Structure 1
Amino acid sequence: MKRVLIVDDATTVRMYHRQILEAAGYAVAEAANGIEGLEKALVDTFDLFVIDVNMPRMDGYSLLAALREDARSSATPAMIITTEALERHRERAAQTGANLCLLKPVDATELVVYADMLTGGASA
């Protein structure tokens, strides 16, 4: 079973993404901010990161940059999901190492399709 770490400061968003991904067969862990997400990523192994941009303590870009610098997580696929719709935000996500940048709210089917695409599927 593939493991996903969802990092978002909004509890309802984390719950929404968790329900969708667990229903699709993924094991899901959560973090409420970038620092907590980084701590979890450094002590555990994940197959996908789902990261919000605007969070307290450490934003999603800083978290992703730190993950890309660590050998254990540098190649792990990462999906940025944000309310920031400007092209410069997409560009920054890509420059920081995101494999994909989606706008909130994400359609449930779309989230699963992209998670499967980035990980090879929940049970793969």
Structure 2
Amino acid sequence: MSTPCTVLVVDDAMTVRKFHRAVLEGAGFAVEEAMDGVEALERALSASRPFGLLLVDVNMPGLDGYSLVTRLRGEASLAATPVIMISSEREPRDAELGFAAGANLFLVKPVRPESLSAFVLAMAEPGA
């Protein structure tokens, strides 16, 4: 990847954000973080260069992951941005809700680092 895209990691748990940052930076991505859905939406809307992918937790205070993805899909400039939802919620209904909101992929925690890297590499918008 000549110009790595920037991935926005959205999770209310700092340890999870730091883990995902380390995995993605190790795979060559630039990474920014948001601690909840409200901050993520503000960052995505105001970014000077679009994010190549968003990695979004489901359970967050304020604006949860499902609501965040629904809002992203409602914004013309963000509607096509790839989104991977990642959660400790493992019932089939949780994934159905994620896909209904507009997620491209729904993963259940914990995700092996090599799997996360592979999914992001396959889905991220190059050079975004």
What's the TM-score, normalizing by structure 1? 0.95
Structure 2 counterpart of 1:97: 102
CA distance in 2, matches of 1:73, 1:15: 24
Structure 1 counterpart of 2:21: 18
Q: Any residues of structure 2 matched to 1:79-118 within 5 Å, and which?
A: 79-118=84-123
Structure 1 counterpart of 2:66: 61
SS of equivalent to 1:85: coil
Task: Report percent identity of matched pairs.
Answer: 46
CA distance in 2, matches of 1:85, 1:72: 31
SS of equivalent to 1:9: coil
Q: Which runs of 5+ in 2 are unaligned?
A: none
Structure 1 counterpart of 2:76: 71
Q: Any residues of structure 2 matched to 1:9-48 within 5 Å, and which?
A: 9-44=12-47, 45-48=50-53
SS of equivalent to 1:51: strand
Q: Which runs of 5+ in 1 are unaligned?
A: none
Runs of 4+ in 1 over 4 A off after TM superposition: none
> Structure 2: which amino acid aligns with 1:74?
A
CA distance in 2, matches of 1:109, 1:73: 27
What's the TM-score, normalizing by structure 2? 0.92
> Structure 1: which amino acid aligns with 2:13?
A
Cα deviation for residue 106 of structure 1 reads: 1.0
Cα deviation for residue 11 of structure 1 reads: 0.2
> Structure 1: which amino acid aligns with 2:55?
V
CA distance in 2, matches of 1:49, 1:68: 12
